[in-house]
Chain A
Amino acid sequence: MEEGEETRKFEPKILAFTCNWSSYSSADQAGISRTFYPPNVQIIRVMCAGRVDPLFVVKAFLNGADGVIIAGCHPNYCRYSGGNRQAEIRVKFLKMLMEEIGVDPARLRIEWISAMEGGRFAQVVQEMVGELKKMGPLLLRK
């Protein structure tokens, strides 16, 4: 990866909330197929993207995350019939809030990734690391 001097020093920290049934497995799949992605992401497993309280996202940013990903099942595929939709609604709200307080809403990303889509998982992480490097650190930590 060719990066400029400045961007190479800053390594963004990303937190990814993944749902047990799909995206958590997709991260496994990326590893199994040796589809490398940057180690900037740490994965937290929940049972459903619908479990992700907006509070978690806020706390993540306050604790030093530069980016947050919420990854759930594709629409129509949520085994709890719609937790992923709830997550989508909450992300919309969070982005409005972020905009208000001057945090780039692009730092929060919601993705639908099924269990076998290891490549997609890796791609999302790769993309986000690239974008965050351009945006710079968030620096909300007290």
Chain B
Amino acid sequence: MSEANLNQEPRIGIFLCDCGTNISSIIDVPQVIEASKGISGVKFVERDSSLCSSAGTKKIRETIERSGVDRVVFAGCSPKNYGSLFESVCQKAGINRYLVAFANIREQCAWAHQDRPKEATIKAINTVQMAAARLQKSEPLQELEIEVHPSTLIIGGGISGMTAALCLANQGFSVLLVEREPDIGGMLNKLYKLYLTNQEVSEILNPVIQSVRNHKNIRILTSASVREVEGYFGDFEVTISVNGGTEKFRAGTIILATGAGTFEPFGMYGYGKHEGVVTQLELEQILKQGKLKHLEKVVMIQCVGAREEKGLTYCSRICCMVAIKNATLIKKLYPDCEVYIIYRDLQTYGKENEEYQSKARELGIRFIEYTPERRPEVFPNGNGKVGVRVYHALLGETLTINSDLVVLSTPLIPNADGKEIAKILKVPLGPDGFFKEAYMEMRSTAFGVNGIYVCGTAQGPKSIDESITQAYAAAALAAIPMQQKKVKIPAMTAEVNEELCIGCQLCLDLCPVHAITFAEGKSMVIEAICRGCGTCAAACPSKAIAVKGFKDEQILAEVEAALK
């Protein structure tokens, strides 16, 4: 911290962007400028119409250098838009980026109160005062720079994990691929043919598996699982249990590619009770083993257990295409077989999928729509078979199909290991149980960056090509800090004042990422792990923990200024 800044009176510069007419047509900008000039410590109030433009940023830099201010307020649009840009510009002009505050007078003022311009103006003045008051209590902060180890742990050896592994290994990074099952390949090991091309899965899967096995930068551990992850972004210490023992691995980044499971519809449409009712995945196995006998009538039912009001509320994205593919394969095997697909909505989005559906119709596959209020019903049809009754809305009558086989299209569901992994990695799960991908955001203003990325169906149901695309994305994101070899951690981390700490350890218990340790009766924050949420600071009974950049003094200054 710069001693000079702490001893001198803050010298504040204010940049006010009127955003063309966006702000100036509602708020009385001259009035705001006049009022802002009167704030204690303010050396200038500079108006502009486009601070985010290159001319604007140039002006910012020049004005700061000329004026000798040590902290800056940007009044204008939401800091979510250009916050980090402005902070960088200030940094280049010699202002510590943590001495920059924002007054949101567009989205949260001019636009929200367009119907009350007078009150909007008063509120804008107040908002600028709040930002200046905050700055009065702010301190310059230094960002911690940590080294990023050029190695990645990839959890999951399916198509996503393998794709990410190859992408990173080809760039020269070391990869450890940890797979729970005895073999890599994941869900694709269970599939027969792929839709669009109807080619065999092995044609795309086997080359990938071979490449992964042969790559000098990839190490594979099968029948293995991640037990513990300590350390932090750049230097994770991972403990893996394998072969009855444990292994340790040091990783700079981690990619989650743990895939998904499939819903088993016991009790629905006779599944589990009658032999003649199977899931699409089971049908794939039958087709793969060449065991499909000649059938006369096959009925496929879509959205089984998916898109419900309670339970699994989502659409699993791929089942319509899977059903059409399997229906197509059956028709090619037995052209005279009647195949029905009973659907709610056909998710054959895009150009290629739509064409595939058209071809299926040309083959004679019949599509019947049903609504959740009037679902198809099954009835035993002898010999383990099950027939289907469905109301055909267009015909206005109920059809009875004496099917030989009923195939249920069920959704992908979160991996059973998901909860365990989420706990070990301290990453969130969404309400559906898939990994919540928020931490893939690369907005550098805050804490999205913690070195863990997710791809594939672990994040949600998606097709193979979508999984592969995400795998490349995750690998690209992981490669950035590893290429740069160092990463700066945002400085808004918690800090303990040992004199005040009474050793109650409340902070330790509350910290969601275990960033706090305890030694000699005092708490200590591991800066590289801390994500700056501030839960510890809010709980500390003796006010011994402060979150740099979000100290009590700063927030209370805003509170006071807001209510003057």
In the complex where A39-B119, A76-B428 touch, is A51 in contact with B538 (Cβ < 8 A)?
A: yes
Closest to B490 in A: A47
A31 to B81, CA, bound (A): 14
B439 at the A/B interface (Cβ < 8 Å)? Answer: yes
Q: Which of A2-10, A20-28, A97-105 lies on the face that meets chain B?
A: A20-28
Quick check: B492 and A47 within 8 Å, CB to CB?
Answer: yes
Q: Write the B115-135 contact mask toward A (1 if CB under 8 angstroms, else 0).
A: 110011011001100100000
A52 at the A/B interface (Cβ < 8 Å)? Answer: yes
Q: Write the B415-433 contact mask toward A (1 if CB under 8 angstroms, else 0).
A: 0000000000010111100
A110 at the A/B interface (Cβ < 8 Å)? Answer: no
A54 to B312, CA, bound (A): 38
B392 at the A/B interface (Cβ < 8 Å)? Answer: no
Q: Which of B35-43, B287-295, B547-555 lies on the face that meets chain A?
A: B547-555
Quick check: A81 and B426 within 8 Å, CB to CB?
Answer: yes
A60 to B342, CA, bound (A): 59
Which of A20, A30, A47, A60 contacts B563, CB < 8 Å?
A60
Min C-beta distance of B183 to chain A, whole Å: 33
Band of interface residues on A: 35 or more
Quick check: B533 and A48 within 8 Å, CB to CB?
Answer: yes
Q: Which of B61-69, B101-109, B316-324, B466-474 lies on the face that meets chain A?
A: B101-109
Quick check: A48 and B428 within 8 Å, CB to CB?
Answer: no
A43 at the A/B interface (Cβ < 8 Å)? Answer: yes
Min C-beta distance of A66 to chain B, whole Å: 10
| Residues 508-564 (chain B) with a chain A CB within 8 angstroms | 510, 512-513, 531-535, 537-539, 547, 550, 552, 555-556, 558-560, 562-563
Closest to B126 in A: A42
Quick check: B428 and A77 within 8 Å, CB to CB?
Answer: yes
Which of B80, B130, B447, B552 contacts A79, CB < 8 Å?
B447
Quick check: B126 and A31 within 8 Å, CB to CB?
Answer: no
CB-CB under 8 A from B558, the residues of chain A are: 44
A34 at the A/B interface (Cβ < 8 Å)? Answer: yes
Quick check: B539 and A86 within 8 Å, CB to CB?
Answer: yes
A137 at the A/B interface (Cβ < 8 Å)? Answer: no
CB-CB under 8 A from A90, the residues of chain B are: 538
Which of B107, B108, B112, B555 contacts A46, CB < 8 Å?
B555
Min C-beta distance of B221 to chain A, whole Å: 27
Which of A31, A50, A64, A79 contacts B439, CB < 8 Å?
A79
Min C-beta distance of B226 to chain A, whole Å: 18
Closest to B78 in A: A28
Min C-beta distance of A12 to chain B, whole Å: 12
Which of A21, A43, A63 contacts B104, CB < 8 Å?
A43
CB-CB under 8 A from A80, the residues of chain B are: 512-513, 531, 533, 535
Quick check: B111 and A65 within 8 Å, CB to CB?
Answer: no
Which of B108, B512, B556 contacts A82, CB < 8 Å?
B512
Which of A29, A37, A42, A122 contacts B130, CB < 8 Å?
A42
B446 at the A/B interface (Cβ < 8 Å)? Answer: yes
B84 at the A/B interface (Cβ < 8 Å)? Answer: no
Which of A28, A63, A79 contacts B560, CB < 8 Å?
A63
B297 at the A/B interface (Cβ < 8 Å)? Answer: no
A50 to B431, CA, bound (A): 20
Min C-beta distance of B352 to chain A, whole Å: 30
A78 to B448, CA, bound (A): 12
Quick check: B555 and A44 within 8 Å, CB to CB?
Answer: yes
A76 to B510, CA, bound (A): 16
Min C-beta distance of A42 to chain B, whole Å: 4
Supply 13 A–B pairs (Cβ within 8 Å), ascending by A. Answer: A13-B563, A31-B78, A32-B111, A34-B111, A36-B113, A39-B120, A44-B130, A44-B555, A47-B447, A47-B492, A59-B560, A64-B563, A83-B512
Residues of B within 8 A of A (CB): 78, 80, 104, 106-116, 119-120, 122-123, 126-127, 130, 426, 428-431, 436, 438-439, 446-448, 492, 510, 512-513, 531-535, 537-539, 547, 550, 552, 555-556, 558-560, 562-563
List 10 A-B pairs, minimum CB-CB distance, nearest first. Answer: A51-B534, A31-B107, A31-B111, A50-B535, A80-B533, A28-B107, A81-B512, A48-B533, A42-B562, A53-B538
